[in-house]
Amino acid sequence: MRLTTILLAAAGLGALVALSMASTARAQTPKAAEPSLPSAAERPATSSEACPVSADSLTLAGDGLVRSRAAVARNRLSILAVGSSSIEGIGASRVELGFVPLLQSGLRTRLPTVAINVWNRGVGGETARETVDRLEAEIQRYQPDLVIWQLGTNDVLRARPWNDIMADIQRGEAILARYNVDVLLVDPQRLPENAVNFPGRNPLLDETARLIAVEGSRIGYAVQRRFEAMRDWGRLNRGGIGPDDIHMNDDGYACWAAITAEGLAQAVAVPTTERIAR
């Protein structure tokens, strides 16, 4: 089945800055609770060889996602997705083909009796510090059971020291603990090995992913090893990354959403007999 492609006009740091500024302006108002979901015919085509869909990229520490399982038992689940451009959906050919709408669709398919909303609060260009600066307000606004926190890519591209990133993560942990929400950390994305923009960054992104996994395990969060999962995306168009060498393309978003939905659905599923009638 032919994989979809997208053509992006922006390239290089100048375009990324412009995208980040536009994204920040758009983030001033909440995104819709019920995004228009793509039909099966509109979704990017990803064969099982190009996108191996499994729950393996998502790991749990201890008894993680307790609140989410309790919410599923009540037949409803609210998820807040925060982070930078890959949460916002920059690079997708249509809004509906970004990560959040596809994740929501994938979870609803896998958990058909559960009312699921995934709120998109990604802001392109953000570092971990900038996400944490608005994290409490976002939690107060959406009252989620689960927070998906994607982080690390922009921190590496801006050469931020790990100690600074770690300080931001711990500041975020304090906020998340205060609201007793479940957390899924999503580590950085892999970039094309032959990237013209941002060449040679994958070793640093890989190490940042490792450190995020260590911290997530220590604190008791679920962690998605996205960087590692993308090793298997060699048959996707440009490995799931668009021609600007940084933002994900339709195929990348489709594959990422599929493995996330698979992992989360398995982690939070509750036998039907244990669910509380709405």
**DSSP code string of 232-278:** G-TTSGGGGB-TTSSSB-HHHHHHHHHHHHHHHHHHH---GGGPPP-
pLDDT at 41: 38
60-108 tens-digit pLDDT: 987 779 999 999 999 999 999 999 999 999 999 999 999 999 999 999 9
Query: Does residue 24 carry a pLDDT above 50?
Result: no
Query: Does residue 25 carry a pLDDT above 70?
Result: no
Structural contact between residues 250 and 93, judged by C-beta atoms closer than 8 angstroms: yes
Coil vs helix vs strand at 226: helix
The count of other CB atoms within 10 Å of the CB of residue 76 is: 14
Selection from 145, 144, 249, 146 nearest residue 191 by Cα: 249
Confidence of residue 23 (pLDDT cuts 50, 70, 90): very low
pLDDT at 274: 54
Confidence of residue 47 (pLDDT cuts 50, 70, 90): low
Query: Does residue 197 carry a pLDDT above 70?
Result: yes
pLDDT at 8: 33
Structural contact between residues 126 and 106, judged by C-beta atoms closer than 8 angstroms: no
Structural contact between residues 21 and 81, judged by C-beta atoms closer than 8 angstroms: no
Q: Which residues pair with 116 in a beta bridge?
A: 77
Residue with tokens 């001033």: 28
**How does strand 115-122 pair with strand 58-59?**
unpaired
Q: Which tokens belong to 240? A: 């799931």
pLDDT at 115: 98
- Using left for φ > 0, alpha for ψ between -120 and 50, and beta otherwise, residue 182 falls in beta
104-128 tens-digit pLDDT: 999 999 999 999 999 999 999 999 9
pLDDT at 135: 98
- Cα 117 to its chain centre, rounded Å, is 15
Q: Which tokens belong to 20? A: 């980040």
Structural contact between residues 251 and 52, judged by C-beta atoms closer than 8 angstroms: no
Domain 58-274: give its CATH architecture: 3-Layer(aba) Sandwich (3.40)
Confidence of residue 275 (pLDDT cuts 50, 70, 90): low
Q: What is the mean pLDDT of the chain?
A: 85
227-266 tens-digit pLDDT: 999 999 999 999 999 999 999 999 999 999 999 999 999 9
Percent pLDDT > 90 in the chain is 74
User: Average pLDDT for residues 148-153, to the nearest whole number?
Assistant: 98
pLDDT at 46: 52
Structural contact between residues 132 and 99, judged by C-beta atoms closer than 8 angstroms: no
Helical H segments across the chain, by residue range: 12-26, 66-73, 85-88, 99-110, 128-142, 153-157, 162-178, 202-219, 226-229, 250-268
What pTM, to 2 d.p., does this model score? Answer: 0.82
User: Average pLDDT for residues 178-197, to the nearest whole number?
Assistant: 95
Range of weakest confidence among 14-18, 102-106, 167-171: 14-18
Confidence of residue 1 (pLDDT cuts 50, 70, 90): very low
Query: Does residue 11 carry a pLDDT above 80?
Result: no
The residue ranking higher by pLDDT, 64 or 7, is: 64
